[in-house]
Amino acid sequence: MPTIETRRVVITGMGAISPQGVGARALWHGLSEGRCAIGPLRHKDGEVLRVKIAAQVPESFDPATGIDERTLPLLDRTSEFALHAAREAIAHSGIDFTRDGLGQRTAVIVGTGVGGETTQDEQSRRLYAEKASRTHPLTIVRLMTNASASQISIAYGLRGATYAVASACASANHAIIQAAQMIRFGMADVAVTGGTEACLSYGALRAWEAMRVLSDDTCRPFSANRRGLVLGEGAAIFVLESLEHARARGATILAELAGSGMSADASDIVMPSADGAASAMRQALAEAELNPEDVDYINAHGTGTQANDSTETRAIRLAFGAHADKLAVSSTKSMHGHALGASGALELVAAIGALRESVVPPTANLDKPDPACDLDYVPNVAREMKVRAVLSNSFAFGGLNAVLALKRAP
């Protein structure tokens, strides 16, 4: 068979809206300082909800800033987050999509687990609780899963492949992998990609309460006294380019997206499999041409549930063998919460920060060792250390696994 030439993929811009604040720098600073952004839930129905905590974007965030007043009525909170993060990422990259028809060769692929959940919840309340005879006329364009990707495409005139990826908590990593593959195989020169989520609606909170996996105090990944996950929200968006394209325009390269791995457990809809997660990590190492001992840090999925954290620990040992004991592993969900389809994107900001600044963000709130979680989880305080390569794990309900492998900028 003919050999397929592939291109190297690099990251040249990033932007974020998160519980740590507005901007990718705010997110990284909060994580590298070990600051937990989990706090009391702000919700109009908070008094009747059992869940009392969440990781929420600060109230100071103004969705109207920088967005055309004609566009705002079309946006669910999910799309507001995505547009703000995209604007920062594109400005950070210094790219000009109007030059040389670049917009035609730019893809937009955005992951989201639930899409326009706030809109869905509000309009359902109107229909069923308030007995309204119709919904708002913009309901569909706000809640459709592809709205965030489409709004970014429209805002910047990007005419390449544009779509959403929805795979629960692996959505962002799956979207980023799809974007990288389009560039790697010559289907695009540039991609705007990442994840966004605004899932803290009354209906969604009630549904998560019913699953009995939510913590009632804080998020303690890998700690023996962990009590469950804490829901979060936000977005992180990135500009990816082929290495050749980035160098030709003199771009600053943040990191190389060197490889990825995807797998399905094919076993249980909610219980994770160590074998499935390990398979995705092995694939990412192989595509990135990394040996296990080349990796210094893993940004873990680390939700803070009993099953996830012990299973991920076993998966890391399966994938890395003896080198597992030399890895720094941390879960930044302990500080920004579990933003479902946006989590992998928020965590990619952390992975890039670790590579660029030689600082591994900690696992906050880890105060009691668990024999079933016996790796080096960088407890509570960030660690200065050389970081040559990073894996970033995202594992989802449905048994879906997506892993990113990053190297230092070439």
Instruction: Decide whether 9-248 matches 260-407 in CATH topology.
Output: yes
User: Tell me: the pLDDT tens digits for 77-131?
Assistant: 999 999 999 999 999 999 999 999 999 999 999 999 999 999 999 999 999 999 9
Rounded Cα gap, residues 268 and 289, in angstroms: 31
pLDDT of residue 347: 99
What is the C-alpha separation between 137 and 142, in angstroms, rounded?
10
CATH architecture of 260-407: 3-Layer(aba) Sandwich (3.40)
- Gap between the Cα atoms of 285 and 257, Å rounded: 12
Cβ(335)–Cβ(36) below 8 Å: yes
Q: Is 301 a catalytic residue?
A: yes
Instruction: Characterize 344-374 residue by residue with b for buried, 16 or more Cβ atoms within 10 angstroms of its Cβ, and e for exposed.
Output: bbbbbbbbbbbbeeebbbbbbbbeeebeebe
The verdict on whether 169 is a catalytic residue reads yes
pLDDT score, position 377: 98
Q: Both tokens of residue 266?
A: 């094919």
Residue 36 annotated as catalytic: no
Q: Which of 92, 174, 245, 338 is catalytic?
A: 338
Q: Write b or e for each residue in 234-270: b if 16 or more Cβ atoms lie within 10 A of its Cβ, otherwise e.
A: bbbbbbbbbbebbeebebebbbbbbbbbbbebeeeee
On whether the CB atoms of residues 327 and 320 are closer than 8 A, the answer is yes
How confident is the model at residue 2, as a pLDDT? 52
Residue recorded with tokens 């109107």: 126
CATH architecture of the region 9-248: 3-Layer(aba) Sandwich (3.40)
DSSP state of 223: -
- Separation of alpha carbons 37 and 59, rounded Å: 13
Active-site hit among 174, 301, 336, 373: 301
Note the pLDDT tens digit of each residue in 299-353: 999 999 999 999 999 999 999 999 999 999 999 999 999 999 999 999 999 999 9
**pLDDT below 50 — which residues of the chain?**
1
Instruction: Tell me, rounded to whole angstroms, the distance of Cα 62 from its chain centroid.
Output: 22
Domain ranges of the chain: 9-248, 260-407
Q: Which of 36, 84, 169, 199 is catalytic?
A: 169
Q: What is the pLDDT of residue 5?
A: 77
Q: What is the pLDDT of residue 3?
A: 57
How far is the CA of 151 from the CAs of 214, 253, 307, 406, in angstroms?
32, 26, 37, 28
